[in-house]
Amino acid sequence: MPTTDSKQPTLNASQLIAFLNAINVGELDGIRAKLGLAREACRSLEQDDLAGKLSEAEEALFEADMKTYRKRIETVIARLGHIR
């Protein structure tokens, strides 16, 4: 699992895309933890706006708004595709 610990490198854009695409099932706490890791990876790539979108996705997930959740995740994936 990716970390932002200083001992391990963070994800590049391509790895982050694959990681986000793999977040589709699991317990809510596990998905939220993965979103947190992805958010930190976006910040390390200096993509604060994408980190914000992932925060919005997490909020939508908490509210059981799956349409908004998927839309925010897909937006982040698409924008990451442009920076690789």
25-45 pLDDT, tens digit per residue, is: 889 999 999 999 999 999 999
Structural domain includes residue 59: yes
Structural domain includes residue 2: no
Structural domain includes residue 47: yes
Q: For 1-84, list the strands marked E by DSSP.
A: none
Structural domain includes residue 7: no
Residue 84, pLDDT > 90, answer no
Please give the residue range of the domain that contains residue 74. 13-83
The total of other beta-carbon atoms located within 10 Å of residue 76's CB is 26
Kindly report, residue by residue over 36-80, the tens digit of the pLDDT: 999 999 999 999 999 999 999 999 999 999 999 999 999 999 999
How many domains in the chain? 1
Supply the pLDDT for residue 13.
95
Supply the pLDDT for residue 3.
47
Residue 15, pLDDT > 90, answer yes
* Placement of tokens 């920076």 in the chain: 83
